[in-house]
Structure 1
Amino acid sequence: MKKVNYHTHTKRCKHAGGSDEEYIESAIKSGFQELGFADHTPWPFDSSYTSSMRMDIEQLDDYVNHLQILKQKYVNQISIKIGLECEYFEEYIPWLRHIIEEYKVDYVIFGNHFSSNEQKNVGYGKMKTDETALELYLETAIKAIESKLFAYFAHPDIFIRGYGKFDDVCERISRQICEKAKEYDLILEFNISNYICEPDSKHYLYPCLDFWKIASELGCRCIIGYDAHQPQVLEQQNGYLKAIAELEKIGIEIVDVIPFLNHL
């Protein structure tokens, strides 16, 4: 299996560090064959709102152009792909499709951080959520999968973290997500950021192995994602090896290739 990562951020998102080049150098040092950048996409929010977790629209040019330069600089050492991590904000999807074509990005991944609009809706992850919020998560996830826009579903089990437990509600929602992913042959990402950042934890709500047992049972495919917000994260081997061991034990298929976009 090739060593790849398609979930790499940059400091443009306002909550990551390091230079673009440092991420590439760390990936080369760790033996990656391919590194994909998928920083948080900007959205055309109301002019009065500025997101604290994603690049500004004005930074897209620099993001793509600088990575194109580095792609050529390191062409003989590593393959570089340029992507975006995107929510499914239905009102903005036409805008996103335009941006994808304008910048000729290689791929986009689905990160379900908010139900329908960051400005006014519930967020998932560290924020406490309830059953109503989880139903919104499911509704958005199904729409995103059915759109056929995304190369894979990043951290699909992130909703369990804010909910705080894996109960019958989580089991049902996990099953519906995995059934839809299987139907559309969408890859699911086993996100190892917590394995790397919290290596001594005895119990992880994310990644949630109960979710992944369901994914395996239903015949889904998965890819390992570092969700790197610092270059040195790509140099951590223990979290990667832990993930391989867990996934092999569960019996789910691990892939190292994702579908890339074809532009005219």
Structure 2
Amino acid sequence: MKKVNYHTHTKRCKHAGGSDEEYIESAIKSGFQELGFADHTPWPFDSSYTSSMRMDIEQLDDYVNHLQILKQKYVNQISIKIGLECEYFKEYIPWLRHIIEEYKVDYVIFGNHFSSNEQKNVGYGKMKTDETALELYLETAIKAIESKLFAYFAHPDIFIRGYGKFDDVCERISRQICEKAKEYDLILEFNISNYICEPDSKHYLYPCLDFWKIASELGCRCIIGYDAHQPQVLEQQNGYLKAIAELEKIGIEIVDVIPFLNHL
């Protein structure tokens, strides 16, 4: 299996560090054959709102152009792909499709951080959530999968983290997500950021192995994602090896190739 990662951020998102080149150098040092950048996409929010977790629209040019320069600089050492991590905000999807074509990005991944619009602040992850919020997460996830826009679903189990437990509600939602992913042959990402950042934890809600047992049962495919917000994260081997061991034990298929977009 090739060593790849398609979930790499940059400091433009306001909560990551290091230079673009440092991520590439760390990936080469760690033996990656291909590195994909998928920083948080900007959205055309109201002018009165500025997101604290994603690049500004004005930074898109620099993001793509600088990575294109580095892609050529390191062409003989590693393959570089340029993507975006995007939510499914229905009102902004036409804008996103235009951006994808304008910048000729290689792929987009689905990160379900907010149910409908970041400005409304129904978020998932560290924020505490309830059953109603989980139903919104499911509804958005289904729409995103059916859109056929995304190369894979990043951290699909992130909703369990803020909910705080894996109960019958989580089991039902996990099953519906995995059934839809299987129907559309969408890859699910096993996100190892917590394995790397919290290596001594005895119990992880994210990644949640109960979710992944359902994914395996239903015949889904998965890819390992570092979700790197610092270059040195890509040099950490223990989290990667732990993920391989867990996934092999569960019996789910691990892939190292994702579908890329074809532009005219």
Answer yes or no: same fold by TM over 0.5. Answer: yes
Q: Distance in 1 between matches of 2:175 and 2:263?
A: 34
Offset, 1:208 = 0.0
Equivalents in 2 of 1:47, 1:126: separation in Å?
A: 26
Q: Could you say what secondary structure the match of 1:119 adopts?
A: helix
Gapped runs of 5+ residues in structure 1? none
* CA deviation after TM superposition for structure 1 residue 24, in Å: 0.0
In structure 2, distance between residues paired with 1:260 and 1:21: 23
C-alpha separation in 1, matches of 2:137 and 2:127: 13
Deviations 1:199-246 (A, max 9, x none): 000000000000000000000000000000000000000000000000
**CA distance in structure 1 between the partners assigned to 2:180 and 2:261 by the alignment:** 21
**CA deviation after TM superposition for structure 1 residue 121, in Å:** 3.4
Equivalent-residue separation in structure 2 for 1:54 and 1:122 (angstroms): 16
> Which residue of the partner structure matches residue 190 of structure 1?
190
Runs of 4+ in 1 over 2 A off after TM superposition: none
Aligned to 1:263: 263
* Alignment partner, residue 205 of structure 2: 205
| SS of match in other structure, 1:38 | strand
Separation (CA, whole Å) in 2 of partners of 1:77 and 1:61: 25
Structure 2 CA distance for aligned equivalents of residues 228 and 56 of structure 1: 19
CA distance in 1 between partners of 2:161 and 2:122 (Å): 14
Please tell me the root mean square deviation across aligned C-alpha atoms, in Å: 0.2
Q: What is the match of residue 126 of structure 1?
A: 126
1:8, CA displacement in angstroms?
A: 0.0
- CA displacement, residues 88-132 of structure 1 (integer Å, 9 cap, x when unaligned): 000000000000000000000000000000001310000000000
Alpha-carbon shift at residue 167 of structure 1 (Å): 0.1
State the distance in 2 between where 1:96 and 1:150 align.
12
Size of the aligned set, in residue pairs, is: 264
Deviations along 1:142-165, one digit per CA (max 9) or x if unpaired, are 000000000000000000000000
Which SS does the other structure have where 1:150 is aligned?
coil
Q: Distance in 1 between matches of 2:136 and 2:252?
A: 27
Query: 1: distance between equivalents of 2:138 and 2:161?
Result: 15
Alignment gaps of 5+ in structure 2: none
Counterpart in the other structure of 1:57? 57
Q: Percent identity?
A: 100
